Structure 1
């Protein structure tokens, strides 16, 4: 039996267009999540009579707003990618996050991936081909077309099995 390891071929990496769609869809999903969190906090404030929560949201500063946005960004990507290997955007574009061997990435890799999203101008790292950004390369992860990954891995493993059982001939 061969001990070769499957690795991600460039041709199954998601296109720039899909990656851009992921960014837009995930941004809208994060805005929605932030809104829901704000509404829940406001309802808790109203139901408990804690006006400080309502006053906080009425007088929120730009720094507090950005901090909440960063916390939601980190929670959103970490929860979705650690537990599901995907996000709302990736679900819609039929892409998935994998490690260099086409497997679900470790929680550490996802955490690194999420933190790297905070690098200034990280968005510009996607202008190359194949479409691999800094948060991909630094975490050793890839965003790939889900169906292409399945087919590519099947082909790899079927070629690996050739010659394994000569008695079957």
Structure 2
């Protein structure tokens, strides 16, 4: 009874409907008593059951369409090359405009240009298209873990998490990398 009293209404409904076979009879009785105690309207069970089934189906669809490490490596190669080319072009253009005089000022310009190009490339592409050039080529895109379109904050988090050392190596060990995990996003097939 104590455990069931700590559950939300939605969790209780899920227990007595969808997940009924996962609980023993004592737990089910406790959940049903808690529902009676809270006077939860049982006429809404079917609506909630449909909603929960839909969420479960969406999550399954997302998880079954997540791309593997091989595709993610292709994304890395294409996007890294694109970022480097953009960075060199921007560095060259900034160098022409500001005409730096010392090696140190050239290094600073190049460093900040590369960083700005990195953040700009990933942020702009994924905010506007949910894709980078690599994802366009492989016909994949970024979604939230539940399959919905990521918010701006999700994409910004995802972009800055790419700067974490060893993020690129995380794909060797798990299907979703560090930047996917921390931003609660996934890359799936179109």
Q: Which residue of 2 aligns with 1:37?
A: 90
> What's the CA shift for 1:42?
4.7
Q: How does 1:108-147 map to 2 (within 5 A)?
A: 108-129=153-174, 131-146=175-190
By relative contact order (CA 8 Å, sep 6+), the higher-ranking structure is 1
Q: Deviations over 1:6-59 (max 9, x none)?
A: 22543311111110000010011112211332343355x2xxxxxxx1226965
Specify the structure having the higher radius of gyration (Cα): 2
Q: Which residue of 2 aligns with 1:22?
A: 75
Q: Deviations over 1:34-87 (max 9, x none)?
A: 1332343355x2xxxxxxx122696512x5433321211111111000111000
- Determine the C-alpha separation between the residues in 2 that align with 1:114 and 1:84: 14
Q: Which residue of 1 aligns with 2:147?
A: 102
- Determine the C-alpha separation between the residues in 2 that align with 1:144 and 1:15: 9
Q: Deviations over 1:88-114 (max 9, x none)?
A: 011011110011122220000001101
Q: Which residue of 1 aligns with 2:128?
A: 83
Q: Which residue of 1 aligns with 2:29?
A: none
- Greater helix proportion: 2
Q: Which residue of 2 aligns with 1:3?
A: 51
- Determine the C-alpha separation between the residues in 2 that align with 1:22 and 1:134: 15
How many residue pairs match? The answer is: 136
- Determine the C-alpha separation between the residues in 1 that align with 2:155 and 2:83: 17
- Cα RMSD (Å) of the superposition? 2.1
CA contact (8 A) 2:150 2:185 kept: yes
The TM-score, its normalising length taken from structure 2, stands at 0.64
In structure 2, relative to structure 1, the CA distance for the partners of 1:18 and 1:55 (3 Å cut) is same
SS in 2 for 1:142: strand
Gap runs ≥5 in structure 1 = 46-52, 147-169
The TM-score, its normalising length taken from structure 1, stands at 0.72
- Pick one of 108, 117, 138 that aligns with 1:93: 138
